[in-house]
Amino acid sequence: MIELAALPERLNKPEVIEKSWVVTLSGNRFSILKPEPDAIRIEDIACALARQARFNGHTRFFYSVGQHSCLGAQVSPTKEVALQMLFHDATETYIGDLVSPVKALLPDFEIIESRIHWAISKKFNLEFPAPKIVKQIDRRLLATEVRDLITKDLKSWGIREDEPFDFPIIPWQPEVTEARFLELARELMK
């Protein structure tokens, strides 16, 4: 069994935990510091990720985390990996995202994010932590997204020319992304 990282002492106080929650679109109250699998709703995940921009919005066209997750699921070699890809960024539903250089400066954020990832994994019966192939697919998707949405100069991002997938990224509208996310999730969870 995987043991979750403990919350730092200053965060593990009842008065801090009591104030550390968000209310989702479904009206559900979700504890950020003590996440419970039963508090997770797939509809909240689909909605939030469909409306959150990848790359902190620094793309030529709006492109969502939800579409990124759907595309990752679609290129996955197995149903299990596809589910992992669909939910690999689902923590952003509850705590948003930080660009990697900022995350590196905030070790508590990684602990909080990991605990939420655990709850999501438990809710949807996913392996925790995710298998390494998830990072590999994520890396290739990043390369594809950079090529199609940011710059053709892949070397400036430390990306090899052979890393991107062969398909082009064509951004979807948030409503389309939300519907596709839910459809894909229901299909994969059968």
**Predicted confidence (pLDDT) per residue in 72-113, tens digit:** 999 999 999 999 999 999 999 999 989 889 999 998 999 999
- Domain membership of residue 176 (yes or no) is yes
Determine the Cα–Cα distance for residues 179 and 41; give it in Å rounded to an integer: 15
Indicate the average pLDDT of the chain. Answer: 96
- Domain membership of residue 1 (yes or no) is no
Angle at 165 between CA 170 and CA 173, to 5 degrees: 20
Mean pLDDT over 52-80 rounds to: 97
Q: Name the packing angle between helices 132-145 and 79-87 (round to 10°).
A: 60
- Domain membership of residue 9 (yes or no) is no
Q: Quick one: CA torsion of 49, 69, 33, 47, rounded to 10 degrees? A: 20
Per-residue pLDDT at 2:
65
Q: How many domains does the structure of the chain reveal?
A: 1
Mean pLDDT over 131-148 rounds to: 98
- Domain membership of residue 8 (yes or no) is no
φ/ψ of residue 167, rounded to 5: -80, 155
- Domain membership of residue 110 (yes or no) is yes
- The enclosing domain of 71 has a CATH number of 1.10.3210.10
Determine the Cα–Cα distance for residues 169 and 144; give it in Å rounded to an integer: 7
- Domain membership of residue 6 (yes or no) is no
* Radius of gyration in angstroms for the set of CA atoms belonging to the chain, rounded to a whole number: 17
Per-residue HEC secondary structure of 24-44 comes to: CCCCCEEECCCCCHHHCCHHH
Per-residue pLDDT at 171:
98
pLDDT band at 24; cut points 50, 70, 90: very high
Cα–Cα nearest to 119, from 106, 109, 128 = 128
**pLDDT > 70: what percent of the chain?**
98
Amino acid letter, 63: Y
Cα–Cα nearest to 31, from 112, 100, 125, 114 = 112
State which residues form the domain around 183. 14-188
* pLDDT surpassing 90 at residue 128: yes
Matching residue, tokens 């660009």: 99
Contacts of 184 (CB under 8 A, 6+ apart): 70, 73, 74, 82, 86
**pLDDT > 90: what percent of the chain?**
94
Cα 166 off chain centre by: 23
- Domain membership of residue 179 (yes or no) is yes
Worst-scoring range by mean pLDDT, 69-73, 99-103, 156-160? 99-103
Q: What are the structure tokens assigned to 107, written together?
A: 């070790």
